[in-house]
Structure 1
Amino acid sequence: MGIVEELKEKALTTGDISREEALLLAEAPLEELAAAAEEIRRKKCGQGFDLCTIVNGKCGRCPEDCKYCAQSAHYQAKCTEAYGLLPTEKLLEGARRAKAGGALRYSIVTSGRRLSDREVEQVCESIRAIRQDTGIQVCVSFGLLEEGQFRKIKEAGASRVHCNLESSAGFFPKICTTHTYQDKIDTLKAARRAGLSVCSGGILGLGETMEDRIDMVLTARELGVKSIPVNLLNPIPGTPLEHRKPLTGQEARRCVALFRFLIPDASIRLAGGRGLLDDKGEQCFQSGANASISGDMLTTAGITVERDSEMVRNLGFEVRLCNE
């Protein structure tokens, strides 16, 4: 029995692939690895495909120095027009469009280190209105909030908190110095204590190694994360990473397949940068991925919910909520 087959059986039984084993898988033939990841996905997750969309609920003027981000005030990127927290009417309008297009989740994402208490109260009103009007699942990405703030958000009707780890603990200081990796972990733990599910992954192509990517997902596994966004760096002019070469489709497939081995029952969610791939991620959805963020990203264009819905159904998936 080869290493891929052996570790596939381990993923399907104990689900505790080690760091050392993952590094061995990283060197395996891609097609063999992808086929095994697909088998794990089918047996652990079935044909469910979790489809969400995001809205840029507060844009630009961010004091954090994340080197990939067009919204950081530290750089000269040509971001979309900066604005404060959107009013309920605008957020509700976006939620209605998302649901009409076939999205199952609607995630409100805001720039900045964290929302203020006043802003949390305002957005809680929006969440209540969205839930009452559309019934769509509401996810939030509001920065480094505390448990009490998360409890208010849950009471308003949100179900999930997104806070990306971005990379490994060792690599993170090379892409951000204004907050720490531990801040991210503390935020995810606070959200869990408040009764919310959590969504956390990262960006591939920042300059990290395969070891960093594996370490990131192992940290997510330790935190009980079952929704793993996989973003591919879209180098934005004016940011420190503007000249980095984007990942190839083969590199993306290998990472997706590895992540499936590491968290066999997770929603491996293709997110930002997927539009840079020639096939818009279709081969990744045949290599272990089973979820996506569709529609436009925060400051870049994405792939429409309607187009994604058609593609995943043609691949044999059933669009439905997963990992609730």
Structure 2
Amino acid sequence: MLDRMNTVDSQLANKAEALLRAPLLTLVHEAAAVHRAHHDVEDIQKASLLSIKTGGCPEDCAYCPQSAHHKEVGLQKEHFMDPQAVIDIAKQAQSAGAERFCMGAAWRKVRDGAEFDAVLDMVRGVRDLGMEACVTLGMLQPHQAQALADAGLTAYNHNLDTGPDYYAEIIGTRTYRDRLETLDHVRAAGITICCGGIIGMGESLRDRADMLAVLASFDPHPESVPINALIPVPGTPLGHLSRVRPPEMIRMVATARILMPNTRVRLSAGRDGFSVSDQVLCFLAGANSIFYGDILLTAPNSGLSLDDALFETLASIPIE
């Protein structure tokens, strides 16, 4: 994967850009046909996300309130959580309808030791509940990926964030190559890949197309691709930007679905500002997963009551 990802496949990127520029209804119609051919359209996975270690991250990601570089955010740093407390929260999420439980730590990279051993305990505990387990912990070494696989980890999240040409505008403390190297280790350990990006960070349409082209160049495609819209947080370098408009998210979802037919496309951060109708269009365009709950690590989400209303809208109406 790594050697092939040093440059973007121009043909794939051109195709992605053409799709992103296509008339919206035409694009959604094509994506819906691909989605229906490869998936049960009623299958929308609910995933729950928990921050197991919040704040103090040494990375300088311009969008992230957990970065230690963005001191004006004022985020309260929290210590690493106890594994049993995490498993108890996973049980609550499962009772609320979540099928996948995702755990995130604000680390630059995984370090061997007690905290990583505790993560392995968390993974085992979540899997014992019968849930899928996903973690996002930063950069990994091969032996650490294998330890996660041995613990039963379902998926490792490690987003590309944006296209390679725009990446340095967003992150200076690691490279695109670093990201791809970790994904290589994840794949080699037999763990499924959860890898997507964020739109609305000031990138061009071509940058969005390049990111999707890189993802679509993976062989096999990532099993999971989260599409996030920036949630501008005051105190971060991107805190002044406007929220992404729903049609932009719909276009990204539809293009991802066409380029990666078998992938689970996750409607992720930023949908808290979308109406039920906006989200239904995203599902029609090929999204088949959401993060379910009130909080995404440290950012607001739609909330359980609003999501329940969303799924009630999607459900069939019984004949009286």
The answer, yes or no, to whether TM exceeds 0.5 is: yes
- The superposition leaves residues 105-160 of structure 1 with CA deviations (integer Å, 9 ceiling, x where unpaired) of 0011010202321121121122222322x221111111101111011111112111
* Aligned AA (1:294): Y
Alignment of 1:246 onto 2:246: no
Match of 1:30 in 2: 24
- Indicate which of 33, 45, 54 corresponds to 1:50: 45
In the alignment, structure 2 segments of 5+ residues that lack a partner are 1-10
Counterpart amino acid of residue 131 in structure 1: R
- The alignment partner of 2:85 has SS state of helix
In structure 2, give the amino acid aligned to 1:207.
G
Instruction: Give the partner amino acid of 2:224.
Output: S
| 1:99 matched residue in structure 2 | 94
> What do the CA deviations read for 1:75-112 (whole angstroms, capped 9, x no partner)?
13435421222111221111001110111100110102
Give, in whole Å, the separation in 1 of the partners of 2:74 and 2:257.
34
**TM-score for both structures, normalised by structure 2:** 0.88
Q: Which residue in the other structure is 1:120 paired with? A: 116
| Residue type of the alignment partner of 1:31 | L
Relative to the length of structure 1, the TM-score reads 0.87
Q: Which moved more, 1:148-157 or 1:279-288?
A: 279-288
SS of structure 1 residue aligned to 2:287? coil
1:40 has 2:34 as partner: yes
* 2:88 aligned with 1:86: no
Instruction: Note if 1:177 corresponds to 2:166.
Output: no
* Map of 1:18 onto structure 2: 12
Return the match for 2:211 from 212, 216, 221: 216
Q: Structure 1 stretch 301-310 or stretch 151-160: which is displaced more?
A: 301-310
Q: Deviations over 1:22-71 (max 9, x none)?
A: 32222221112112211111111222222211100110011100000001
The residue type equivalent to 1:28 in the other structure is: A
The answer to whether the Cα contact below 8 Å between 1:40 and 1:261 also exists between their aligned partners in 2 is yes
Q: What is the letter of the counterpart of residue 284 of structure 2?
A: Q
CA distance in 1, matches of 2:185, 2:31: 32
Q: What residue identity is the alignment partner of 1:100?
A: S
The CA distance in 2 between the partners of 1:146 and 1:303, in whole Å, is 35
Give the partner amino acid of 1:121.
D
Deviations 1:180-237 (A, max 9, x none): 1111101111001011001000000011111111211221122231211011001000
Q: Distance in 2 between matches of 1:286 and 1:312?
A: 14
Preserved contact between residue 101 and residue 306 of structure 1 (Cα < 8 Å): no
2:8 is aligned to none
**Deviation of residue 305 (structure 1)?**
4.8
CA 1:60 to 1:302, structure 2 compared with 1: closer, same or farther past 3 Å? same
Q: Superposition pairs for residues 139-288 of structure 1, below 5 Å?
A: 139-223=134-218, 224-279=221-276, 281-288=279-286
SS at match of 2:133: strand
